[in-house]
Structure 1
Amino acid sequence: NHAWVEAWVDGKWYFLGACEPEPVLNLGWFNAPASRGMLMHTKVFGRYNGPEEVMYRTPRYTEINVIDNYAPTAKADVTIVDADGKPVADAKVEFKVYNYAEFYTVASKQTDADGKTFLTAGKGDMLVWASKDGKFGYSKLSFGKDNALTVKLDKTAGEAYTLDMDIIPPVEGANMPEVTPEQRAENNRRMALEDSIRNAYVATFMTDESARHFAKEYQLDEDVVAKLLVASRGNHETIRDFMARLRSEKSKKGGIDLLQQISAKDLRDVSSEVLIDHMMNSHLCANADYFRRFVRNPRVSNEMITPYKGFFEKAVPEQEREAYLADPMKLVAWVAENIRVDKDCNLGGSPITPEGVWKARTADAHSRDIFFVSMARSMGIPARIDEVTGKVQLMGDEGAVDVNFEAMEQASAPTGKFIARYTPIKSLADPKYYSHFSISRLTPAGTLKLLNYDEGDIDMGGGATWANLLKNGTALDAGNYVMVTGTRLANGGVLSQLTFFTIKPGETTTVDLVMRESKDDIQVIGNFNSESTYKPIDSDELKSILATTGRGYYIVAVLGAGQEPTNHALRDIAALGKEFDEWGRGIVLLFPNEEQYKKFRPQEFPGLPATITYGIDVDGSIQKQIAEGMKLSNKTILPMFIIGDTFNRVVFVSQGYTIGLGEQLMKVIHKL
């Protein structure tokens, strides 16, 4: 697979080296998804003055728009006017894409003196949200169709209404470069080498069996310890060594609880220094539950967790600590008076460490909040940043109390109850937060701030849902809100609905949560021969799809083992494994060759349906038939999924990277 390079000089051959085939870039799995991108941007050091559209400029870096490198684009001019039609200068204009049931801001700009701004983006739909001085307005912008858009700031908080909005993404236009057989062979060799290196490393992780053996040796709870050690993956030595230090029953209980409080990602990243610090330097408080969650727990928000408790133990005199413990408002006042808030001091975005804030006495507002909570916890004062609202709170006998650094006071915000009625549709019994709906608070400035409810292990069915959050109601701070729902279609489009509502103190507000459905019935979109054959994994004889699945509907897919689009699709299907089992029809998952199948690790996708049959697509005949029969623009992009029947009719097709494939398949299945 290498070119042998020699030279003839003075009657002799001289070896110059082995040259690998020239590499081909832009051939990753993301080639096709990138062609559907709406906006891509990057940061360049310094005051960059290149040809690209500037998104944002700071003294340290320039953020530029690079979408033209990836997808067909169009430029749109946006004008913001007031209720009387007059241009509004210095209005905030947010360009939002639909993402995980939220209209997420991907670009934020300010209008010029004439009320104008612009953006270049992929040829799809965005929501343009404009605001200034509490007034706001919005409109859908279709890049490539709308060259100009005018948005009127004619709305104020407090109105209650519902709005449907259809979002259409850019069409796929993958541009896959040609490769020679030699280049493909070299790429396969390198991928096999990379897989072997990764698999060798993963093989060093603790298994359930080895973790239980460790737990027995140190007389620890087997089930809990096994779960923690397996989840820690490459960081298992750190977690294991920390557990080995736990000798007394009290320390064992406290140490295991500490590990259970941190996130799954922290288990894979946390250092021994951090664990020991927060184990040894956490002051007790009266409420045992508060101590576990809001004192000993090292994690405050999205910061890199550090051993800050030992630092503050030395930095804060005992007399001052006792004063703050007796009256936490003194600590609020000290932070307000001594920590200068500067939004431009942390342009990188990552939170400044609590130690860093202490030393610099300057921070952005978010880092200041993390610093306050960290400092409070180091003294045994229960505190948190509420994960839903983002508010800093002290935890007392009567629950959470909001902290206001500007007013240097604490108060409980008035709340009301929010209930959403939902009539289950056939394909969705219980909508999930982030996947199907979200709630954002409408701020006094006229912008939206997402409420971040616990997402749990969404892939395994965890996290907030309509049933456990809104069916019987949840408490929300008094104010104005927007609930967004969205049904994602097979082509990537979204049927969304925005519901504006108001929460009043002590009152209950009830709205309808609607998952819009496509009015189009299932249609035959192509043909596939159900007599097509493949080689089952456990046999050398070819077998037909019909003989495998029996009469009726079935799913056939050609996968790319180890490729992210395939992994994403299998995780989506595994999350709905029980529903596919209840459907009871056959699912045939094929690999292009034996080599690809050997790379496949089904244990990485717990929950896959029991109705799956694995096989090899001999000579690529099924992949070719699907690509040609469904008129796919590229015949090589994997995975390919179809739903067909034994009358050779195809009613669903998906290729490449797709969001929510499992749900898309089930929606079609429920309509069959």
Structure 2
Amino acid sequence: MKLRHIAIAAIISAAACGATAQNIATPKVKADFKERQEKVANPAYFTVFDRNLTPQQREALEFLYAYMPLPDIADYSGDFFLTNVDATLRARKEMPWGKNIPDREWRHFVLPLRINNEALDNHRPEFYAELKDRVKGLSMKDAILEVNHWCHEKATYEPSDSRTHSPLATVSSAIGRCGEESTFTVGALRAVGIPARQIYTPRWAHTDDNHAWVEAWADGQWYFLGACEPEPVLNLGWFNAPASRGMMMNTYAFGAYDGPEEVLATPDGYTNINVTTNYAPVDTITVNVTDRQGRPAAGTEVSFRLYNYGEFYPIATKTTDQHGRASLSAGIGDVVVWATDGKNFGMTKGSVGRDRNVAVTLDLTPSYTGVKEMDIIPPVASNKPVEVTPAQAAENDRRKVYEDSLRGAYTATFFTRERGEDLGRRLGLDPARVAAVMIDARGNHKTIEQFLSGVPEADRERALTLVESLSVKDRSDVPAVILADHLTAPVYDTPLYAEYILSPRIDNEALTPFRSYFSATVGKDEAARMRANPAELVAQTARDITILPDWYPGNIRMSPEAVDRSKATNAASRDIYFVAKARSLGIPARIDPVTGKTQWADAKGNWTDASFGGDSSASAKPASQGTLKLAFTKTGRIDDPKYYTQFTLSKIADGRPQLLGFPEDATWSSILRDGQKLDEGQYMLVSGQRMADGGVLSRAQFFDIRPESTVSDTLVMRQDNKGVQVIGNFNSENTYTDLASGAEKSVLSTTGRGYYVIGLLTPNHEPTNHALRDIAAVAPEFEKWGRGMILLFKDRQDAGRFDSSLLPELPSTVSYGIDTDGKIAAEIIGNLKLSTTERPVFIIADTFNRIVFVSQGYTIGLGDQIVDTIHHLGE
């Protein structure tokens, strides 16, 4: 692909900073590499070492092959890794800082190509070619800032699914969620030889969602930055305040890392390290676990969990020592501690910073039913302001406007709705459907256009159906070879055809052209037998595929083709393999999005679980099920609680909760009011009400579902009974510049008498983006309320950068304006004594000049919080 043209942390000793030995493969690395070769026992994976390699090439490859995920070894060639090794060695030699980077930091945070669960690509030599002259002559710190400006030229934030674009795909699409932006930025920094790592908070404590950003190493110290969000200085980002309230921030170091940070875990090939102390006050909490007889429970799994998106989400997992103890360094706030021996479990609340020791008893059995309520308090903000001069801020803003224009010039080449509809008419296809997929394609539009145009006219409808079966993100990076491969699927007369036979999308794996592979390797007679009796394919999979759980960090998956060749993989890749092979043979198959179970369907569309225990009869036996039916009484304004927002349901398996993945738009009435069929077993219903300060009133209720029986109960939403209070004042006669008319208007003249909302925004800014999306999600509530909402930018430059096309439609009551001379922002911040000028800021006030609600910075669920407050106002 041709690219578009256009201190916090540990100090490394001075001696380490001057290291020039450049020992890539230490004795431990060499030993681990040898052990890896012996355990994998497949010489074909290591043929690159038969090449005539230089000592540095060999040692770099030994380090990568000693620790890389097994899917990477199986799915990418040795030549692929050698190309990237050569680019990395070149950067180390040619960049002025190359000789000064300690071996440890270079080995773990420059050399590795993989950053997240992205498909690997050859971005490194391409990025180096474009960036090397741009950072020439700069200090390391200035080079980091410059690389981030370059990244901002290429991509801006937009939320999406959890599959991570490769760096080149992020450049092509010009957008990415935080995990993709940080993967892209880490890749760009490593391409010019700067150590970089992706920092991740698994979940925020004070609001729903998570976040990822970047740390980069310069002159002996780690600094942080917001990926594709350039600031004038390092250690500055919109997330400074949220991070100061964080309870866990971590990163994965490739290989056996021996740095100064606390080690959380050592999954095969990686070291999970705790960097929370870089951002927030921390303390250590120790959990003492005992069994039902009061004896120390050694070897027990202890997970530390936060209430987030309606569930208790694990942010760190430890194992108790011989005394039944496990400790964690975390932010100062409440966690839910969950301990299990794989059968029985126990749970309690622990307050980091107050409770130095927490006792948990494994007294809850697999048949336990009951209720546990907890009031959960998150950390308070404690970030320190970072000094930026007005001149620095102005220059940074000027550059961002220019960078937006470069990116905008590129995205202007993408398909519009009109252009897409015109293509549809020319191809004899539904114009609206073609326009939708072509808009989703973004920088991949030529691939999709050529595919649809190039197939025979009789096959175009099916070709469009194939593209529609992909995820939105798939359309923006799927290569032509994959589309061509899957269009070879024969047509079968079943309503499940498009989604469960034709489509290559199974889970969150990288798409591959597996259909032609299985068509070539499975004989026609064998395929016919398996179509007639899918249980035979289940039994064959169980018999032929060995489960090898080693070297599978995160959600990286081995391709179906590689699984078939190696006959060894992990369970998740085995399940994808089964579905891919079944679809290739004409058998509808899926991984159930709710339960995660692997299934195939018969001719009548009935789904059967695929059991890989080796007994073919087990695959045809339906799971024993009961029913959970819950009533709900309107609570406050909540008349139909939302899944992931106000409640979730998890199955307790082996003492651990496993979330059921109902659709994002699921509600109580759609899944539980009339009864939900569930496999027999123990379930936990979690509900919670998030307070304006980030605290949560949580409730966990446990059910035992028995076969052919119904459990009837009630979904309870705990409520805060405190009334709305006046928290400050704001003059409703203040004026602003109305963007629509250009006239100076007062707040009062815009909103009329009564309550109203004012929002202070930053354009193309992740917290602002989330806030506006949350408001759009409850637009009918604001329409019903009917009062005005004024959204203000700080100046015309910011207003000009705002791209509303990246957002859903806001309520019709919204007006846009400019805060003339910053008077409104100054008054709100001053009167409410807000500690920072961070945006966005939203207030609810009235024309008696009273403020009754404020939200500042990164908040998920803002729309619901505002509507809840409005409800309590009786408006």
TM-score (norm 1): 0.93
Distance 1:531 1:158, change over 3 A: same
Q: In the alignment, what sits opposite 2:647?
A: 437
Match of 1:66 in 2: 275
Provide the residue aligned with 1:8 in structure 2: none
Question: Aligned equivalents of 1:261 and 1:606: distance in 2?
Answer: 23
Question: C-alpha distance in 1, partners of 2:562/2:841?
Answer: 50
- Residue 262 of structure 2 corresponds to which residue in structure 1? 53
Q: Check if 1:405 corresponds to 2:612.
A: yes
Q: Distance in 1 between matches of 2:674 and 2:487?
A: 39
How far off is 1:540 after superposition?
5.1
Match of 2:487, as an amino acid?
Answer: M
SS at match of 1:120: strand
Match of 1:124 among 320, 324, 333: 333
Root-mean-square deviation (CA, aligned residues, Å) is 1.9
Aligned positions, number: 645
Residue 90 of structure 1 and its aligned partner are, at CA, apart by: 0.6
Within a 5 Å distance, the mapping from 1:48-447 to structure 2 comes to 48-249=257-458, 251-280=459-488, 282-285=489-492, 287-347=493-553, 349-397=555-603, 399-408=606-615, 409-410=618-619, 411-443=621-653, 445-447=654-656
Matched, 1:522 2:724: yes
Q: How does 1:526-545 map to 2 (within 5 A)?
A: 526-539=728-741, 541-545=743-747
Q: How far apart in 2 are the matches of 1:128 and 1:156?
A: 16
On the 8 A contact 1:442/1:448 being kept in 2, the answer is yes
**Structure 1 residues 326 and 397: CA distance shift in structure 2, 3 A:** closer
2:762 to 550, 560, 565: 560
Task: Measure the CA separation in 2 of the matches of 1:229 and 1:514.
Answer: 44
Deviation string for 1:419-446 (max 9, x for gaps)?
1211123422322211221110011x21
C-alpha distance after superposition, 1:489-537 (max 9, x if no partner): 1111111111111212112212211222211000111111111121222
Partners of 1:32 and 1:333 in 2: CA distance: 54
What one-letter code is carried by the residue in structure 2 that aligns with 1:273?
V
Unaligned runs of 5+ in 1: 1-15, 456-462
Q: Where does residue 616 of structure 1 map in the other structure?
A: 818
Q: List per-residue Cα deviations over 1:362-412 (Å, max 9, x = no partner).
A: 101110111111111111122211111111112114611112211423110
Deviates more, 1:537-546 or 1:575-584: 537-546
Structure 1 residues 420-429 or 372-381, which shifts more?
420-429
Rounded to whole Å, the distance in 2 between the matches of 1:515 and 1:201 is: 48
Q: Residue 108 of structure 1: CA displacement? A: 1.2
The equivalent residue for 2:161 is: none
Displacement of 1:355 in angstroms is 1.0
**52-61 vs 524-533, which moves further:** 52-61
What amino acid sits opposite 2:490 in the alignment?
H
Query: Is 1:640 aligned with 2:836?
Result: no
* Equivalent AA in structure 1 for residue 661 of structure 2: N
Provide the C-alpha distance between the structure 2 equivalents of 1:394 and 1:538, rounded to a whole number of angstroms.
56
**Structure 1 CA distance for aligned equivalents of residues 491 and 812 of structure 2:** 49
Worse-superposed segment, 395-404 or 120-129? 395-404
CA deviation vs aligned residue, 1:179-228 (integer Å, no higher than 9, x gap): 11221122112211221122122211211111111111111111221222
Q: Which residue of structure 2 lines up, in the alignment, with residue 11 of structure 1?
A: none
- Alignment partner, residue 857 of structure 2: 656
Q: Does the 8 A contact of 2:268 with 2:551 survive in 1?
A: no
Aligned counterparts of 2:250 and 2:783: Cα–Cα separation in 1? 42
Deviation per CA, 1:315-340: give whole Å up to 9, x if none. Answer: 22333323333332222222222211
Distance 2:600 2:743 in 1: 68
State the alpha-carbon separation in 2 of the partners of residues 327 and 562 from structure 1: 53
1:56/1:608 CA distance change after superposition, 3 Å: same
Structure showing the higher strand proportion among its residues? 1
The alpha-carbon deviation at position 347 of structure 1 amounts to: 3.2
Report the Cα offset of residue 243 of structure 1.
1.6
Q: CA deviation at 1:539?
A: 4.5
The CA distance in 2 between the partners of 1:433 and 1:95, in whole Å, is 22
Matched, 1:576 2:778: yes
Q: 1:107 & 1:348 partners in 2: Cα distance? A: 14
Instruction: Specify which structure has the higher proportion of helix.
Output: 2
Aligned equivalents of 1:139, 1:407: Cα separation in 2: 39
Quote the Cα distance in structure 2 between the aligned partners of 1:170 and 1:613. Answer: 34
Identity rate of aligned residues, in percent? 45
C-alpha separation between the residues in 1 aligned to 2:413 and 2:258? 48
* CA distance in 1 between partners of 2:508 and 2:268 (Å): 25
Cα–Cα, structure 1 residues 206 and 145, in superposed 2: closer, same or farther, change >3 Å? same
Could you tell me how far apart the structure 1 residues matched to 2:422 and 2:294 are? 73
Question: d(CA) in 2 for partners of 1:171 and 1:276?
Answer: 54
Are 1:554 and 1:643, in contact at CA under 8 Å, matched by a contact in 2?
yes
Offset of residue 284 of structure 1: 4.0
Query: Aligned partners of 2:501 and 2:744: how far apart in 1?
Result: 63
Separation in 2 of the partners of 1:301 and 1:235? 21
- Superposition TM-score, scaled by structure 2 size: 0.72
Q: Structure 1 residue 44 and structure 2 residue 253: aligned?
A: yes
Q: Helix, strand or coil: the match of 2:296?
A: coil
Supply the distance in 2 between the matched residues of 1:252 and 1:166 (Cα, whole angstroms).
Answer: 57
The residue identity in structure 2 corresponding to 1:450 is L
Provide Cα deviations, 1:235-261, integer angstroms capped at 9, x if missing partner. Answer: 222222222134334x23322222222
SS at match of 1:232: helix
